[in-house]
Amino acid sequence: MDRVIIFDTTLRDGEQSPGASMNVEQKVEVAKLLAKMGVDVIEAGFPISSPMQFEGAKRIADTVKGSVIAGLCRAVDKDITTCYEALKNAEEKRIHTFIATSDIHMTYKLKKSKDEVLKLATSAVKLAKSMVDDIEFSAEDATRSDWEFLKDIYTAVIEAGATTINVPDTVGYTMPEEYTKLIRFLMENVPINDNVIISVHCHNDLGMATANTLQALYTGARQAEVAVNGIGERAGNASLEEIVMALKTRQDVYRLKTGIKTEHIYHLSKTIVNFTGLSVQPNKAIVGENAFAHEAGIHQDGVIKNRMTYEIMTPESIGLQRSTLVLGRHSGKHGLTVRLKELGYALEREDFNRIYGKFLEIADKKKEVFDEDLIALVEDELNILPEVFHLDYFSVVTGNNMIPTATVKLRKKDAFIQEAATGDGPVDALYRAIEKITDTPIKLASYSINAVTRGKDAMGSATISVERNGRTYRGFGVATDVIEASVNAFLNAINRIHMNSME
């Protein structure tokens, strides 16, 4: 079977989702997980766009092994040289340069002619080729571009040294049949040899990203540009887990394989949710909460008799365990260690001891600690976002005939600060008190709480979105008390704001 190159853009295009930005430590952690999973190319960022983007790409290039590390840059000399500086220490590196090729983009955004765009693209690839061997060129908005112009520009950049030509459906406009015709046209009219790969990068504005990507691969493209959980600009990108598992499950149709170790999918998905604050919808393919859940009686009966009656893949194949092991207050360290390893967490002694202490606190409040509890606990406890403010204490008094009043004490370095406030409800009062302490007035854009696990004593998670100075920040928190989870989420967002101001 032919091999498909998996190019992951979670750390670049995925992070462009409003409010989903990650700090450098989180980016490095995600890149390590992607490399461990077997991702071929990791797009580490857009180095010229900000000092943090540069530092994130550089740290990944310096430390992450086993994958090609790519950086995005416009067809501009300074972009390309900056990208090289960020990536130069990588074992294997790729410069990914792009320029728009559709009439609407060239006319209104670039204000340049086709000849000017072609010259810029060729010049950019030549400059990049003088620095590294692995060059990818993307014709932005390719699916709305003139096909003859695409033929000319792809031919020119290949002659200039491009080794991958990317055909992006930048605005999620095309349909599978149209995409098939475009990929076939390029295969027949562009001088593609054994050293050149056709890549596809599809957005999901019309819900076609996965279908278009798979159809392009079926037609002859051999690189898929994807993001974990399908995150990305607007409606997102083609989903890594959907593309990989479709190719694996339907090898009879596609006759294609990847190098992805699929048992790491679920762990990586949960990590991205925690780091970005972007929740996965329950009915999301592969990694959604209900993806392997069966409630209807006839489905349950079928699955009991033979799992393949209603499951076309096993939960174990993506790293989701369906163990009956019950963990509680009487469980020892050995049992917890084994269960965490089964869930994909190999923790250092210091981290494990901290997790174990938190585990015992939860076990004292709950009769059983489920897998979802452990995942939420580990991801929350090991969240790498540095804390400017740390919660020391909170208290809230509320009732149906009284004004909710909250008292909060936070620690900032070695200093403790305490404030009280009233609000429309207990959460509002707590948030007002925290705003006073941190001197960070913000607008709460969205707030949601969910039960992480089942039962009356389930752990709760809170996800919020806040706005400050025209930017959106997300926060995530988890606890057995939804009020405490809400406080944790708000502080998580506050800390993101303060860390951003320090950059």
Q: Running DSSP on this structure, what letter comes out for residue 106? A: I
Which parts of the chain have pLDDT scores under 50?
A: 295-297, 300, 323-326
Q: Which residues contact 141 (CB under 8 A, 6 or more apart)?
A: 100, 101, 102, 104, 105, 168, 170, 171
The domains of the chain are located at 2-276, 297-381, 390-502
Task: List the one residue out of 231, 115, 238, 253 whose CA is nearest residue 166.
Answer: 238
Residue 295, pLDDT score: 42
Residue 344, pLDDT score: 66
Residue 397, pLDDT score: 95
Residue 319, pLDDT score: 87
- Quick one: CA dihedral 261, 65, 276, 48, positive or negative? negative
Q: Round to whole Å and give the CA distance between 151 and 155.
A: 6
What is each CA distance from 488 to 264, 383, 434, 480, in whole angstroms? 27, 12, 11, 12
Q: Which residues contact 265 (CB under 8 A, 6 or more apart)?
A: 37, 240, 241, 244, 245, 286, 287, 318, 319
**Neighbour count for residue 108 (Cβ, 10 Å):** 10
| Contact criterion met (CB below 8 Å) for 43 and 70 | yes
Q: Do β-strands 134-140 and 93-100 pair in parallel, antiparallel, or remain unpaired?
A: parallel
Task: List the one residue out of 103, 95, 28, 92 whose CA is nearest residue 66.
Answer: 92
Residue 367, pLDDT score: 61
- Quick one: CA dihedral 236, 237, 238, 240, positive or negative? negative
Three-class secondary structure of residue 103 per DSSP:
helix
Q: Which residues contact 194 (CB under 8 A, 6 or more apart)?
A: none
Q: How does pLDDT run across 31-72, given as a tens digit for each residue?
A: 999 999 999 999 999 999 999 999 999 999 999 999 999 999
Task: List the one residue out of 312, 267, 311 whose CA is nearest residue 287.
Answer: 267
Q: Round to whole Å and give the CA distance between 359 and 366.
A: 10
Task: List the one residue out of 452, 451, 450, 434 whose CA is nearest residue 442.
Answer: 434
Q: How far apart are the first and last CA of the chain?
A: 47
**Neighbour count for residue 32 (Cβ, 10 Å):** 17
Number of H-type helices and E-type strands within the chain? 17, 16
Look up residue 88 and give its amino acid: K
| Contact criterion met (CB below 8 Å) for 47 and 24 | no
What are the percentages of helix, strand and coil residues in the chain, rounded to 5?
45, 20, 35
The vertex-265 CA angle with 135 and 275, nearest 5°, equals: 80
Q: Which residues contact 399 (CB under 8 A, 6 or more apart)?
A: none
Residue 457, pLDDT score: 60
Q: Which residues contact 397 (CB under 8 A, 6 or more apart)?
A: 404, 405, 406
Residue 9, pLDDT score: 98
C-alpha neighbours within 13 Å on the C-beta side of residue 136: 28
Element (H, E) at 373: helix 371-381
Q: Do β-strands 68-74 and 41-45 pair in parallel, antiparallel, or remain unpaired?
A: parallel
Q: Which residues contact 31 (CB under 8 A, 6 or more apart)?
A: 11, 42, 44, 60, 64, 67, 69
Residue 311, pLDDT score: 75
CATH number of 2-276: 3.20.20.70
Residue recorded with tokens 């290949």: 158
The vertex-183 CA angle with 177 and 185, nearest 5°, equals: 100
Fold that domain 390-502 belongs to in CATH? Double Stranded RNA Binding Domain (3.30.160)
